[in-house]
Amino acid sequence: MFRRLVMVSAVALPALLVSSTGVSARNVSSISTHAPAPWADNDPADSLYRVAREALNRNQLTRAAELFADIGRKYPKSAYVADALYYRAFALYRMGGEDDLRQALTSLNTQLSRYPKANTAGDAEELRVRIRGALAKRGDAESAALVSEAAQDSTPCARGAVRDDDNDVRVAAMNALLQMDSESAMPIIKQVLQKRDGCTAVLRKKAVFLLSQKRSSETESVLSDVIRNDPSRQVREDAVFWMGQIHSDRAAALLEDIATSSPDIALREKAIFSLSQQNSARSAALMRRVAESDDTPRRVRENAIFQLGQHRSTENAEYLRSLFAKLGRGNEDLRKNVLFSLSQMRGVGNEKWLVNVALDGSQSVEVRKQALWTAGQAGASSTDLIGIYDRITDAPVKEQLIWVLSEAREKAASDKLVEIATRDKDPEMRKKALFWLGQKNDPRVKQIILDILKD
């Protein structure tokens, strides 16, 4: 077994993932869901707060809501009152009944009027929007109007700056909007995506995600507009990623256009990744075309070659082998990329082909060294690798093979290293083998060293 080198794709999955309730995973964690540890030991409500906090953390929602309410009723001057109003509202929101939701709003409104500078005031604004969204879903027209206004609000940008909690509130509003009325969602999403200021980039990222979940005849064209015109690289890249999740001819055509002609190299790489996720004959053909085109920027070609190696098939393996033969000496880095890509596909004969490349004296030393390492990654047996040691004459390639053998766990590989360390005619090879044996903690190394010292 060989230790494998993992190449991480340049494309990361956008952080906005949807739970079964329709609320994004990022949005769930953006408000306080656990009351903080007690901080006022001498406060008369300290003990009551501790009990209420424990009930909330144990998901005993009814009890928690009652206990947090008791803090304000019994100890109105306590330092815990302001935040207790928020955590009572959160417990009621989690309970989810219509009366619970309305009581939660009352608790938040009380906090806003009496304690506008409470530690949880920012979280309270977002929670208020979530509650309004839940009420709107139940048919509350006033809540629906308020949620729609919150989603479109651009006041923070008009002030010249935006706080994280401002965006959290508007993202929560968009979540609520999509849940309560999908037909109303699309016009609002489109309006948000028309914004171009830097302080709404987070909101536009969320809008792109919601757009990808709301499939309609407009989805591909709106995503395409974002990809071509949004000023934020992150927003554009997210749009390319989500376009890849739409398995339609139109989406594929748009991605192909980006992959082959966009002036933004990073965006072209993202398009290659998105096409690879579609795992279709059409996307495979496009990646092959990109991989072999001399007019394609090198980074994009490398990405296409890598993605082909992530989809194991006889066709992809045969294509990559033929591509290796077509690439001239001036494309040595690309040839090495092909070798690595082939090493990612086991079971299609690549290991023997790679061994043959390592033995090919017409190849450069660096290519042959890469072929040896990738042969091990592709599953070449220790027997195959041992068998070619005496057929290799270039010292750097032999040294590479010694290292590759040291990576193998089979006893036969260690035995070969012992043989090289004790019998090879080249003292440099003996030293290399002895060094790598030492890294394997082979018990025979100590005796070999003793024998050398005796001689």
**Separation of alpha carbons 81 and 107, rounded Å:** 11
pLDDT at 1: 34
pLDDT at 187: 81
Burial of 329 (0-12, 13-18, 19+ CB in 10 A): exposed
Residue type, 258: I
**Separation of alpha carbons 203 and 25, rounded Å:** 15
Tokens of 442: 């082979």
pLDDT at 137: 73
The pLDDT of residue 58 is above 70: yes
**Separation of alpha carbons 266 and 44, rounded Å:** 59
Three-state secondary structure readout of 114-173 = HCCCCCCHHHHHHHHHHHHHHHHHCCCHHHHHHHHHHHHCCHHHHCCCCCHHHHHHHHHH
pLDDT at 151: 66
Delimit the domains of the chain by residue range: 386-455
| Half-sphere exposure at residue 440, Cβ-oriented, CA atoms within 13 angstroms | 26
Q: How far is CA 83 from the centre of its chain?
A: 35
The pLDDT of residue 133 is above 90: no
Radius of gyration for the chain, computed over Cα atoms and rounded to the nearest angstrom: 31
Q: What is the mean pLDDT of residues 343-353?
A: 88
**Separation of alpha carbons 422 and 455, rounded Å:** 12
The pLDDT of residue 349 is above 70: yes
Q: Which residues contact 21 (CB under 8 A, 6 or more apart)?
A: none
Burial of 266 (0-12, 13-18, 19+ CB in 10 A): middle
Q: How far is CA 91 from the centre of its chain?
A: 32
**Separation of alpha carbons 424 and 427, rounded Å:** 7
The pLDDT of residue 266 is above 60: yes
Hey, CA dihedral for 234, 235, 240, 243, is it positive or negative?
A: positive
In degrees, rounded to 5, the angle at the alpha carbon of residue 98 between the alpha carbons of residues 97 and 100 is: 60
Q: What is the mean pLDDT of residues 294-323?
A: 92
pLDDT at 429: 93
Hey, CA dihedral for 132, 138, 144, 147, is it positive or negative?
A: positive
**Separation of alpha carbons 404 and 407, rounded Å:** 5
Contact between 120 and 82 under an 8 Å Cβ cutoff? The reply is: yes
In degrees, rounded to 5, the angle at the alpha carbon of residue 417 between the alpha carbons of residues 415 and 420 is: 115
The pLDDT of residue 371 is above 90: yes
Q: What is the DSSP letter of 217?
A: T
pLDDT at 8: 32
Mean pLDDT for the chain? Answer: 82
pLDDT at 182: 57
pLDDT at 2: 34
Q: What is the mean pLDDT of residues 253-260?
A: 92
pLDDT 10s digits, 137-176: 776 767 776 776 666 655 555 444 444 455 566 767 766 7
The pLDDT of residue 394 is above 50: yes
pLDDT 10s digits, 166-224: 556 676 776 676 665 556 677 878 888 888 877 788 888 888 888 887 777 788 889 98
Write b or e for each residue in 114-145: b if 16 or more Cβ atoms lie within 10 A of its Cβ, otherwise e.
Answer: ebeebebbbbbbbbbbbbbbbbbbeebeebbe
Give 269's pLDDT tier (boundaries 50, 70, 90): very high
